[in-house]
Amino acid sequence: MNMDPVIVVWLLYCGTFVAIPTAHYWYMKRWSSRPWGLTTITEWNPSVTVLVPTRNEERTIALKLENLREIKYPKDRLEVIVIDDKSTDATIARAEEFRKDNGEMNIKILIKTKWGGKSESLNLGLQESSGEVVVVSDADCFWTKETLPQSLKYLSNPTVGAVTGLESILNPPNSIATRSEVLYDDIVHVIRVGESKIQSTVIFQGGFSAYKRGALDRFDTINDDSGTALSIIQKGLRTILVPEALVFTSFPVSLAEKAGIKLRRAVQLIKVWLSCLRLLLKNKLRLSLRVFIPEFYLYFLQPPLFVVLAVFSALLAAGNFWIFMLIICFLAPVLVVPKLRMMFGELVQGVCILLLAMISVGFGRTMPVWKSSSQSRSGVTREALEALGLLSN
């Protein structure tokens, strides 16, 4: 039986579209289970500066500082610098009150008189820092008592220039937005750990990122956390995700607000991968191609390929009953099984967000990094933090 060549092409297209990201995931999963092969010093206790950039964080700043007070690290080796980016609420007052009541902590508060953005705040804090290791942590992100020492263990290796933590959602997965984000994180974390064990991961998070001071000239003001990680890779050092360095953060419960956060992140990452491409074309990229090539495909090629596949499938289904039934058979379990439905929803949302991000970057539009979410902050409560052991009862 001869098959229509158009249908053959469609089937091959479908198979390729699914096979490439699936193979990439399992390849990274295999790498993520391998040992690090790094010589580390468990009791390495360098001086540490924690930079906490703030912008209208009156609801969380005191809880954040209390969380830092309880981490397992010598207080005489720890410095905390709060850099406020012209807040219009009581953030500074809350921070000052905490500092007054906790004289055993070395806390500095820098107050900017002109709004300049997160990276500018971090660079101001960096100028005032005295630590051998500089850690960045957002005001709505909370560490376990072991997060800092667990990350420093890896930073003790001379080949490692920076580490980032593994973020987990603080508020319970009680909405489709939070449940799908948990599923997304489970997949992405496997990939990031795999990349780290191959060589480095570029994608760093604001919840916890620790840098050797000698490797950090400045924070990237264009590409944010991941741009800073790339600059360290270009110096010949590794940047890795440490699964033991747990960080808890709240997340929006609405799909609309989730999409807004994802779009801002996607714009930054599109710029980072374009920077990598430019370096590659100049034969200067020091990031492993086993990391860069799959990421470039997923960020730049997979989204438009998905659109072409969707249009191609619709046209075929309109003119071929069996193709129509095949698509229905595929979509049926996707729509019925909750986990498959969430995975498909994440795929469609991810494609749309990446396409919008590419358009934004192409037209030179910038996305605000300082944009607090009232929904995500609503999950930051003392009760929630105490339940996870992030604050004492």
pLDDT tens profile 238-252? 999 999 999 999 888
Average pLDDT over residues 74-82: 96
**374-392: per-residue pLDDT in tens?**
445 667 889 989 999 999 8
**330 occurs within a structural domain:** no
**137-170: per-residue pLDDT in tens?**
999 999 999 999 999 999 999 999 999 999 998 8
Q: How many domains does the chain have?
A: 1
Q: Would you state the pLDDT for residue 287?
A: 98
Average pLDDT over residues 175-193: 88
- Report, in this order, helix, strand and coil percent for the chain, each rounded to 5: 55, 15, 30
**309 occurs within a structural domain:** no
- 369: pLDDT confidence band, cut at 50, 70 and 90? low
**321 occurs within a structural domain:** no
C-beta separation of 349 from 40 below 8 A: no
Q: Would you state the pLDDT for residue 366?
A: 65
Q: Would you state the pLDDT for residue 58?
A: 93
**278-329: per-residue pLDDT in tens?**
999 999 999 999 999 999 999 999 999 999 888 888 888 888 888 888 888 8
**64 occurs within a structural domain:** yes
- 53: pLDDT confidence band, cut at 50, 70 and 90? very high
What CA–CA distance (Å, rounded) separates 356 from 262?
A: 11
* Long-range contacts from 309-313, C-beta under 8 angstroms, 24+ separation: 309/13, 309/14, 309/17, 312/10, 312/13, 313/10, 313/14
**324 occurs within a structural domain:** no
For helices 302-319 and 5-32, the axis angle rounded to 10 degrees is 140
Question: Which contiguous run of DSSP H or E holds residue 341?
Answer: helix 338-362
Pairing, β 238-249 against β 160-169 = parallel
As a whole-number percent, the residues of the chain with pLDDT over 90 amount to: 62
Dihedral angle computed from the Cα positions of residues 135, 138, 143 and 146, in that order, rounded to the nearest 10 degrees: 0
Look at residue 373 and tell me whether its pLDDT is greater than 60: no
Instruction: Please list, in sequence order, all residues whose beta carbon lies within 8 angstroms of the beta carbon of residue 17, skipping any fewer than 6 positions away.
Output: 302, 305, 306, 309
Report the CATH number at residue 205. Answer: 3.90.550.10
**10-26: per-residue pLDDT in tens?**
778 888 888 999 999 99
**364 occurs within a structural domain:** no
Q: Would you state the pLDDT for residue 319?
A: 81
- 3: pLDDT confidence band, cut at 50, 70 and 90? low
**238 occurs within a structural domain:** yes
From 340, 342, 336, 314, select the one nearest 327 (Cα to Cα): 314
Domain range enclosing 163:
29-289+383-387
The overall average pLDDT reported for the chain is 89
